[in-house]
Structure 1
């Protein structure tokens, strides 16, 4: 069935051959959409009946042009900026075939193995450095303690003289004050005297120079102290010289 050519719209300008859109619209008209349909009339098609006796019938081989005009199109405007849609994320590229996966997997395994090796190296170096710091701190402490012990050991004979002067009652007046200040100052370095009469005998701290028996003791006891012993912290500087009484 053929379509009749529609009469030109009064509000539209002349159309350009070849199916181009109208050049411009009439003032005051709304948006218009023109759809054209070009068909070539063949020999077997019947010519459309004319609307009146004077209508022209398209000749054979000519192009029949039909247009459909949509008079009104509602256009909705939006105030403000148009909201942006969700970001477009490109899908990860998929391998064309399984042949490219094997080299990537092997390279990934090699990188993981190298990372594990470097991690173990770092842990080993960290442990060695921690042990080195502990060893250095321990050695530094031992050197400092040995140096302090050497100085204090050189002062022990002076302390023995002060003890003998104290036993004879000579530490009086200014001399006694100086002796007490010296003992206090040496105590700040960790020097501690030991060895008193009546202490249990300890062979690791006492050096027995005399033995006797007594019914007044239940265990070996220091009954006389000839020379006091000294220790620096837990370190023994000098044992005490004592006389020991064993039980009968």
Structure 2
């Protein structure tokens, strides 16, 4: 993947960031990062439910859908630098909250760091889901590096319909980007020093996801502000289709993040 370059204004923003629904001028902005093999459209139902007061911008990763002619990314940090530059220039009137699930949590975290330094445009909050803190992270168990192994990983996590195994067209559409995303996740290494953010972090997981509770709480080490955790019924894809309890949890997290936060550092496990 190419290194970050100067962007061409609105056209680049439209390529990378998809506004799923209209929103009022004063709406809070939530930037959403897909999971491995995922697309911007996975956040459509969340955007529809929040549209009255939250503008959802879903990140379009290269190598899929309308960007299928571009090479898929293979470096999480470089991908995040590209996105951070777009979010910072021109400087937004209202700083966004970043929200990522699975691999998207790592991309969101790596985007938040350059937004704070060097761009001086930190997000007002970070919501991470289905992922250990970067320095506690262990790679997904995989039986190999090919398409069959990638599909087995996704099926085990409950992230797709098993019928895809017998559908050549669906396999051809989904598996190349899934393989690339999983390779990028496996290659990801956080920086030599833990990045400290000034924004609050909220960490979420499904109770049956198998994440170690301590690995989830370790996200607290990456912020000087408030930290909260919460778990929900379900596995790794507990938020699939964003049922009402998940939507309300996101709304509840976004609202205080975009208001005035007390300076005192707090820790809350729900």
- Shorter-chain TM range is under 0.3
| Larger strand fraction of residues | 1
TM-score when normalising by structure 2? 0.17
Which is bigger in relative contact order (C-alpha 8 A, separation at least 6)?
A: 2
Q: TM-score, normalised by structure 1?
A: 0.18
Higher helix content, 1 or 2:
2
Larger Rg: 1
